[in-house]
Amino acid sequence: MISFLRMRLAGALATIFGASLISFILLRVLPGDPVRLIAGPLASEQALEGVRRQLGIDLPLPVQYARYIGGFVTGDWGFSFTAGGPVREVFASRIAATAELALFAFVIAFTAALILALLATYRRNRIIDGFVRVISTFGLGTPQFWLAMILLIVFFEQLNLFPGPSGRLDASTLAPPRVTGLLTVDSLLAGRWDAFSQAIEHLILPALSLGFVPFAFLVRLLRANLLEMSREPFIVVVRSKGIGYWATHTRHVLPNAFLPTLTASGLILAELLTGSVLVEKVFAWPGIGALVVDSILRQDYAVVQSFILLTAVLYVGVSFLVDMLYGVIDPRTRNPVSQRG
């Protein structure tokens, strides 16, 4: 177990090293003036000179790489000229908005997927199962930003049920004092019900847009795993004890089906990360995703570069954690096999 952990950790670190090389090559070595890329098109000659010195363009590539990675590790992620501040600070001020949205989207996606997958596979309900299969097929082919637009047209422009693309609160509402940065939590802490309900209203459409693809993915996976597990012989044994269909399904089929689903967490995270870039833009959500799109459009590449490498670190890190978690949750890996019997 320990040696497996060490191997897996070494693998994860090697992968992150490779990823950092790739992002270094992409943004420093490929054709195009890296100084312009990093300083932006509007930078003055002086600023360019500064960037050149900072980057050490004249230095050999390995030295440049070492400085680049050193800067990243020590939190020096460069300067965003569009936001007018160090990239790290800009990210820090926006991470809560993205996290709240992603969390909300994930909770919606996961809950809906779990319920629908259980209903679809419980006694092989054909109608719900058909619905689940259709919706998940379409879900995997839906561009999130397009869905976001459709939801806005229907629920904001036509029905006026939810607020439009106006950020996290109405413009006239004062934000609650910042504690966690998550508006729903902060407004509750401050006892501000008006801000809380508004924060929820503003979250729903973006979260639905962002959560739909992960939902489609999860419901498919859960459905397949549930069906597979419900055919396992031990299920017959459970039923022969007199346990009802539903209890068998939730107490025995689901826990067994859930374990393999856990391994998809990395993919879900990737989907949420990419999705936030696309969805936040549509809803003018003041998070990192929208910042990245704006930075792409304005060629503020210090932001983009940091985002890309951070994404890779997060993605690899989560896959690693999930593997570890799997080992803790699954009794077959947690307890070594003994041959005392």
Partner 1 sequence: MRAVRGVSFEVRRGEKVGIVGESGSGKSALALSILRLIAPPGEVVGGQVWLNDRDLMRLREREMAHVRGSEIALIFQDPMTALDPVMTIGAQIVESIRKHRPDVSRKEARDRAIELLRDVEVPLAERRIDDYPHQLSGGMRQRVVIAIALANDPPLLIADEPTTALDVTTQAQVLDVLERAVEERGAAVILITHNLGIVADFCDSVKVMYAGRLVEQATPTDLFRSPIHPYSEALLRSIPDPARLEQGPLPTIPGAPPSLANLPAGCAFEPRCPLGRGVAICKNTAPPVIPIGQGVAECHFAEERWADNETMRKEAAADDRS
Partner 2 sequence: MSAQTTIIKRTARPRITFEGVTAALRFILLDPTLLIAFLLMVLLVGLALLGPLLWGIDPLKLDFGAVFAAPSPQHPMGTDSLGRDIFARFYSGAQISLTVGVVAVVFGAVLGGAVGLIAGMSGGWVDVLLMRTMDAILAFPPLVLAMAITIGLGAGIETAAIAIIVTTIPWYARLVRSDVLRVRSMPFIEAAVAIGMARWPMIRRHVVPHIMPTLLIQAAASFGYAILALAALGFVGLGAQIPTPEWGAMITEGLSDALTGRWWVGVFPGVGILLAVTAANLFADRARDLLDIRAE
DSSP assignment of 162-230 equals S--S--SS-TTSPPPPPSSS-HHHHHHHTT-HHHHHHHHHHHHHHHHHHHHHHHHHHHHHHHHHHHHHH
8 A C-beta contact, residue 319 and residue 12:
yes
Closest CA to 216 of 131, 315, 311, 100: 131
8 A C-beta contact, residue 249 and residue 229:
no
Choose which of 15, 82, 173, 265 interacts with partner 2 (CB under 8 A). 15
Q: Does 157 bind partner 2 (CB under 8 A)?
A: yes
Residue 311's contacts (CB-CB under 8 Å, 6 or more residues apart) are 273
Choose which of 41, 70, 75, 143 interacts with partner 2 (CB under 8 A). 143
The amino acid sitting at 322 is V
Structural tokens at position 141: 């082919």
Q: Does 300 bind partner 2 (CB under 8 A)?
A: no
Q: Does 281 bind partner 2 (CB under 8 A)?
A: yes
Structural tokens at position 312: 């890779």
The amino acid sitting at 160 is N
Q: Which one of partner 1, partner 2, none interacts with residue 19, CB within 5 to 8 A by kind?
A: partner 2
Choose which of 54, 93, 142, 173 interacts with partner 2 (CB under 8 A). 142
Q: How far is the CB of 120 from partner 1 (least distance, A)?
A: 14
Q: How far apart are CA 233 and CA 248, in angstroms?
A: 13
Residue 201 or 232: which CB sits closer to partner 1? 232
Structural tokens at position 155: 């629920």
Q: Does 84 bind partner 2 (CB under 8 A)?
A: no
The span of 2-10, 196-204, 272-280, 320-328 binding partner 2 (CB under 8 A) equals 272-280
Choose which of 31, 60, 233, 331 interacts with partner 2 (CB under 8 A). 31
The span of 79-87, 137-145, 199-207, 328-336 binding partner 2 (CB under 8 A) equals 137-145
Q: Does 164 bind partner 2 (CB under 8 A)?
A: yes
Q: How far apart are CA 228 and CA 50, in angstroms?
A: 61
Q: Does 141 bind partner 2 (CB under 8 A)?
A: yes
Q: How far is the CB of 221 from partner 1 (least distance, A)?
A: 18
Q: List interacting residues with partner 2 (CB under 8 A).
A: 11, 14-19, 21-23, 25-27, 30-32, 37, 137-138, 140-143, 145-147, 149-150, 152-153, 156-157, 164-165, 270-271, 273-274, 277-278, 281-282, 293, 296-297, 301, 304-305, 307-308, 311-312, 315-316
